């Protein structure tokens, strides 16, 4: 519940705290974005384990599975879709947060490059940055989807 309240608040307002802690470096952007992206992963993981059908656990117990076998063969396939949904959301939020903070704070990276290109009215560079960001996002989602398929086997 506390995590959901934190997630609904504007996380960017915590940037001054990270600025004091890490200085005006990319470490502040990475730390803040990581927290912003970890919240949906944690919330989905908690929700997934709470919603496992108890019948599945009873079936595993009736088959005398060890704790490791129960986790690997029953729990992991049951919770994988929800957890990987959290990974997809978290990765999207991290990418969006990093680009947005780089754009606003001007400390380097693709976000600053896009900001400079937009300021100079270099439309080609802006589109190149957007296409590159979309391709990076698609690549991340592809890796997450492939990993989910491997885990669910």
pLDDT digits (tens, 9 = 90+) for 45-80: 999 999 999 999 999 999 999 999 999 999 999 999
pTM tops 0.75: yes
pLDDT band at 1 (very low <50, low <70, confident <90, very high): low
Average pLDDT, rounded, for the chain: 89
Q: Is the dihedral of CA 31, 33, 35, 37 positive or negative?
A: negative
Q: How far is CA 98 from CA 34, 45, 111, 112, 148, in A?
A: 9, 23, 8, 10, 25
pLDDT band at 43 (very low <50, low <70, confident <90, very high): very high
Second CATH level (architecture) for the domain 2-152: Orthogonal Bundle (1.10)
Return the pLDDT at 2. Answer: 78
Indicate the domain borders of the chain: 2-152
């Amino acid at each position: 519940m506390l995590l959901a309240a934190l997630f609904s608040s504007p996380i960017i307002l915590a940037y001054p705290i990270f600025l004091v802690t890490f200085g005006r470096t990319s470490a502040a952007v990475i730390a803040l974005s990581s927290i912003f992206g970890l919240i949906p992963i944690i919330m989905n993981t908690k929700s997934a384990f709470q919603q496992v059908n108890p019948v599945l656990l009873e079936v595993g117990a009736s088959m005398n599975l060890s704790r490791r076998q129960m986790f690997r063969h029953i729990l992991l396939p049951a919770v994988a879709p929800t957890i990987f949904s959290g990974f997809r959301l978290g990765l999207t939020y991290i990418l969006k947060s990093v680009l947005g903070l780089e754009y606003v704070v001007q400390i380097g990276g693709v976000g600053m490059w896009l900001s400079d290109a937009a300021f100079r009215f270099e439309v080609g560079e802006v589109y190149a940055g957007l296409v590159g960001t979309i391709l990076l996002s698609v690549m991340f989602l592809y890796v997450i989807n492939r990993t989910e398929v491997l885990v669910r086997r």
